[in-house]
């Protein structure tokens, strides 16, 4: 089984698509319902929850739990990428840090509050 797509549900598809297009350097055709951004081996998709989607009891599901999503992006230079993204006004969570498992990583929040982790594996 191969993961080919990660999808974030948001109330601002066009805005979040523009943000991630800037983050990963990909083109996006913005619209208000669904956008896919190629990221190399997989796709980042952004979509709006349809009013027909509900939980098992028929109640609409809120889009409020940003802690459920962490996107991991492998980059060539964590420090340079983090500096570039900081200029976009992201909410910084963790400055570039060497991790005990052999990676250097940094973390920030996207405009919807989802966590984004940047990492480079140590050689």
Q: How far apart are CA 114 and CA 92, in angstroms?
A: 12
pTM above 0.85, yes or no: no
pLDDT digits (tens, 9 = 90+) for 26-80: 888 777 888 889 888 888 988 886 544 544 444 555 555 555 677 888 899 999 9
Dist CA 113 CA 12 (whole Å): 12
* Torsion sign across C-alpha atoms 64, 7, 47, 86: positive
Q: How many domains does the chain contain in total?
A: 2
Are residues 73 and 44 located together in one domain of the fold?
no
* Whether residues 46 and 80 fall in one domain: no
38 lies in the same domain as 75: no
Same domain, 1 and 36: yes
Is 80 in the same domain as 122?
yes
Q: State the residue range of the domain holding 116.
A: 69-123
- Distances in Å between the alpha carbon of 93 and those of 3, 62, 90, 109? 26, 24, 9, 7
Token duo for residue 24: 């990963």
pLDDT, residue 19, reads: 93
**82 in the same domain as 37:** no
| Vertex 121 angle, CA 45 and 87, to 5° | 55
């Amino acid at each position: 089984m191969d993961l080919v797509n990660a999808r974030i549900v948001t109330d601002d598809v066009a805005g979040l698509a523009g943000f991630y297009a800037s983050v990963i350097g990909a083109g996006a055709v913005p619209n208000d319902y669904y956008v896919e951004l190629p990221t190399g081996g997989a796709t980042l998709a952004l979509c709006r929850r349809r009013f027909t989607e509900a939980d098992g009891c028929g109640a609409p599901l809120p889009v409020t739990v940003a802690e459920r999503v962490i996107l991991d992006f492998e980059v060539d230079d964590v420090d340079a990428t983090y500096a570039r993204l900081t200029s976009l006004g992201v909410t910084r969570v963790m400055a570039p840090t060497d991790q005990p498992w052999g990676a250097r990583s940094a973390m920030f929040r996207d405009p919807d509050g989802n966590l984004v982790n940047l990492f480079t594996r140590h050689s």
